[in-house]
A and B are shown apart, each in its own frame.
Chain A
């Protein structure tokens, strides 16, 4: 079946540092890949997505590239801000009814 493995963290960075959160997946067929962000006490917000190999999703300075050869979708940001502190979930969409399979989430804390 489908599965997602992501860096568990927690990750603590200083403001303006470079961020990478690793995500790899196992899937049959041609899934779509997503990164969601969850701020404290809230639901999930879609951060970015990629629907096919070599696609790059980007939003708010974050980006991730769908790498089929390495089955990866690592999240990166060149300069993080305190407001980026949240839990980040990598997810894979596919199969019947297009269910989402989530990674375990990575808590990011950015200090001023």
Chain B
């Protein structure tokens, strides 16, 4: 089945550091990828939708300058948490949807998540 690889799986770093998380679709092309944030014992909160070759679409309340998204190819999207602070500590999950733009009813396939801890 469709595989999405997310790296790294865990990051611990000091306050003020910028952290990059990669999301790769390994065996399919994904024009659209999504970035979620999950708080403990809570559901997933969509942060942004990443479209290959264009700017990401951010959800209301998500800071664009804080969470930089780049979707440079059909198999890779990156999320950079800039100048991270303890309140940015969370579980970040990416997903990728099979098919190109306009193919909207394919399921999303999720990475295994990145546990980010800012000291």
- The answer on a CB contact under 8 Å between A44 and B93 is yes
- The answer on a CB contact under 8 Å between B105 and A36 is no
Which residues on the A side are within 8 Å of B42 (C-beta)? 104-105
* Cα–Cα distance between A42 and B94 once the two chains are bound (Å): 12
Partner pick for B109 among A46, A98, A99, A103, CB 8 A cutoff: A46
Query: In the complex, what residue of chain A is closest to B104 when comparing beta carbons?
Result: A98
Determine whether B34 belongs to the interface, using a CB cutoff of 8 Å to chain A: yes
Query: In the complex, what residue of chain A is closest to B2 when comparing beta carbons?
Result: A46
- The answer on a CB contact under 8 Å between B110 and A43 is yes
* Contacts A43-B6, A46-B109; A103 near B43 (Cβ below 8 A): yes
Which residues on the B side are within 8 Å of A32 (C-beta)? 105, 107
CB distance from A85 to the nearest CB of B (A): 15
* Cα–Cα distance between A34 and B106 once the two chains are bound (Å): 11
Which residues on the B side are within 8 Å of A20 (C-beta)? none
- The answer on a CB contact under 8 Å between B113 and A97 is no
* Cα–Cα distance between A51 and B104 once the two chains are bound (Å): 11
- The answer on a CB contact under 8 Å between A49 and B43 is no
Which residues on the B side are within 8 Å of A93 (C-beta)? 104-105, 107-108
Contact with B along A39-53 (1 / 0, CB 8 A): 001111110010100
Determine whether B32 belongs to the interface, using a CB cutoff of 8 Å to chain A: yes
Determine whether A73 belongs to the interface, using a CB cutoff of 8 Å to chain B: no
Task: Sort A-B residue pairs by CB-CB distance and give the 4 closest, nearest first.
Answer: A98-B104, A43-B110, A44-B110, A43-B112
Q: Which residues of B contact A (CB under 8 A)?
A: 4, 6, 32, 34, 41-44, 46, 49, 51, 57, 93, 95, 97, 104-105, 107-113, 115
A-B contact pairs, 9 of them (CB 8 A): A32-B107, A34-B107, A46-B110, A93-B108, A97-B57, A98-B105, A99-B46, A100-B46, A104-B42
Q: A43-B112, A45-B110, A100-B46 are in contact. List 14 more A-B contacts (CB 8 A).
A: A32-B105, A36-B110, A43-B4, A44-B95, A46-B108, A89-B43, A89-B44, A93-B105, A97-B32, A97-B57, A100-B34, A100-B95, A102-B43, A102-B44
